Amino acid sequence: GEKVEQHESTLSVREGDSAVINCTYTDTASSYFPWYKQEAGKSLHFVIDIRSNVDRKQSQRLIVLLDKKAKRFSLHITATQPEDSAIYFCAARSGGSNAKLTFGKGTKLSVKS
């Protein structure tokens, strides 16, 4: 089955700098790659996604890049703010109709002011 590896377990940046979180996946049939954010003590919520028919997507300060050849995707958070501090999870949806997401283990991002 699909395996998703999230390369940074922790990341610390200064306010205003950019943060980059990298993930790799194994299933070439995966076609959907979302990112979720979990603030301390809270649940997860969706932040941005990308589909395999594009290689870049931006939503305000969030940019997702997808490199299908390398089976790698990344989340870029520009102009970081303290409220960006959270755990970020990448995920991949396998091909087929079983609606299953495989999550990475999460990256704890700390934005220091």
Partner 1 sequence: DMKVTQMPRYLIKRMGENVLLECGQDMSHETMYWYRQDPGLGLQLIYISYDVDSNSEGDIPKGYRVSRKKREHFSLILDSAKTNQTSVYFCASLLGDIPSYEQYFGPGTRLTVL
Distance in Å, CB of 15 to partner 1, minimum: 26
Token duo for residue 54: 């594009």
**Interface with partner 1 by CB under 8 A: which residues?**
1, 6, 9, 32, 34, 36, 42-46, 49, 89, 93, 98-106
Contact 91, 106 (CB under 8 A): no
Parallel/antiparallel/unpaired status of strands 56-59 and 107-112: unpaired
- Among residues 6 and 24, whose Cβ is nearest to partner 1? 6
Sign of the torsion formed by the C-alpha atoms of 98, 27, 106 and 54: negative
Distance in Å, CB of 21 to partner 1, minimum: 13
Distance in Å, CB of 79 to partner 1, minimum: 25
- Among residues 18 and 34, whose Cβ is nearest to partner 1? 34
Contact 3, 92 (CB under 8 A): no
Residues whose CB is less than 8 angstroms from the CB of residue 16 and which lie 6 or more positions away in sequence, other chains included? 79, 80
Distance in Å, CB of 111 to partner 1, minimum: 21
- Among residues 25 and 36, whose Cβ is nearest to partner 1? 36
Strand partners, 38: 44, 87
- Among residues 30 and 74, whose Cβ is nearest to partner 1? 30
